[in-house]
Amino acid sequence: MSALSPRSVRDRFRRAKAHRAPWERIWQECYEFALPLRAGAGASGSPGDRRGDRLFDGTAPDAIDQLAASLLSQLTPSFAPWFRLVPGSDVSVADERDLAGELERSTRIMLAHFDRSNLATELHQCLLDLVTAGTASLAFEEARPGEPSAFHFAAVPLFQVAVEDSGTGRADTTFRVTALPAEQLAERFPAAAARGEVARLADLAEDRRVPVVEAVIPDGAACHYLAFVEPAGTAAEPMVLAQGRFRTSPFINFRWLKAPGEVYGRSPVMKALPDIKTANKVVELVLKNASIAATGIWQADDDGVLNPATIKLVPGTIIPKAVGSSGLTPLPAPGRFDVSELVLEQLRARIRRALLVDQLGEVHGPRMTATEVLERAAEVARIFGATFARLQAELLLPLLTRAHAILVRRGEIADLPIDGRLVEVHCRAVRGPFEAQQEAQNTMLWLSFIRDLGPEALAVADQRAASRWLGKVLGVPATLMRTEPASPEPDGAALGWEVITDAAV
């Protein structure tokens, strides 16, 4: 794709918007019952509207908050090394030490920029969208010069985004619609403001807010960018505000679960929506029954003296009645609503289980043993393995690739491609520390076994290779490990093999 035609991009945007329309109803329903603060995120509704009037049970919103916070602490914990750049598979052993030192420097610089940015705030909002609607979009732009961080993030509301799959299996084609005031429009598109197009568009808009469509379409290793204002007529040419090319896409779209043949993701809330709606209805009926039990249902004779419209059932009230009439008498309730207790707890337990509550959070209770910790880590890895693998491919790797490209353009780090061959990424969420400890323990157990078998069995083990492998598994910096043998070459006794093995066992 050599150039973008504004008309063809406009047509693709309209098709993507039409493909998104069937999803909007279920998104709105998920937001109403699980994330009411976003319930007005669609075309109807505005900031400050009353939301959550249909919500009576808070199990799902509480579980959504916990799951999103747990995912954030696992994927990108603030002020903690949540990723490492390491030499790839094509790097020789002789060049690995020098390259590892440069990559550790790049890792520290990237982590510092992430910590000083607004990543935690905006990514948390995206994770709330992810677990509620199944799809989220994060805008990753370069900050202005002089800012504490080179990165600036913005959580894009799902109803503003239409995505397509260009054949890569990812939602990599993005169309975003935003209504910008004239001041922001002129600041974001200075070339269009200099031509006078911004002022003319603002005068035509009713509230001086202009709907702008931003399109990012991949083209090989780069992507095209086009910002335009969609005309009112179908035959009119779009008004282009800006166009260009990005080395990496500024929009990162990621999904919780992808069904075959679908572009948008599916969420755990969609799976638990029947239980969420049922529990909400049960609590609503319980509250209505409690209101009847507290105030009662009353009947009165129409004797010309008692006026039910003026009666207030408050302490100390004197209600007049005619002589010989029964006055105001309570109507007995037909029965009790105890059946709710039989199903409500089961519904809430299924909702929390479907939304994976307490799987990643802290465990409240007695102190766990080492075996219990490893078993729990294995269970978490089994449950979240597919989710973390998808988030690494669709969120973490594009996030780090774009951050790397921005810092390379600024000249803060070396231009080393993150392609898996020269440089690869190790993410903490995908490979947890407990798995690394388990592999290290298995290796040390094997070394202790062959030591007991005698010198012939011990000769099979490559001590230097085992030491380097343990260092990589446990995350030891590569600069602390030698790549060349010391002079003179020490033997096993000089290396203290027996002492090291006994201490580890």
All structural domains of the chain with their residue ranges: 1-44+52-172+249-294+337-419, 432-505
pLDDT for res 274: 94
pTM higher than 0.85: no
N-term to C-term CA, the chain = 60
pLDDT tens track for 400-412: 999 999 999 999 9
Alpha-carbon span 22 to 79, nearest angstrom = 41
How far, in Å, are 198, 199, 239, 365 from residue 181 at the CA level?
10, 10, 17, 53
Count the alpha carbons within 13 Å of 214 in the hemisphere toward its beta carbon: 21
Are residues 277 and 33 in contact, defined by beta-carbon separation less than 8 angstroms? yes
pLDDT for res 501: 35
How far, in Å, are 258, 360, 363, 426 from residue 433 at the CA level?
28, 14, 17, 12
pLDDT tens track for 186-198: 888 888 888 887 7
| Alpha helices in 1-133, H assignment, sequence order | 6-34, 59-75, 93-116, 119-133
Q: What is the pLDDT along the chain (505 residues), one digit of tens a residue?
A: 456 788 899 999 999 999 999 999 999 999 999 998 775 555 455 655 666 677 889 999 999 999 999 899 889 988 888 998 988 888 887 788 789 889 999 999 999 999 999 999 999 999 999 999 999 999 999 999 899 999 999 999 999 999 999 888 899 999 999 988 888 888 888 888 888 877 777 776 666 788 899 999 998 888 999 999 987 655 678 888 999 999 999 999 999 999 898 999 999 999 999 999 999 998 988 888 777 777 766 767 666 676 777 777 676 666 777 666 776 677 666 555 566 777 888 999 999 999 988 665 455 555 666 666 667 667 777 778 888 889 999 999 999 999 999 999 999 999 999 988 899 998 876 655 556 666 777 788 888 888 877 777 777 777 777 787 777 767 676 667 776 554 444 444 443 444 333 333 3
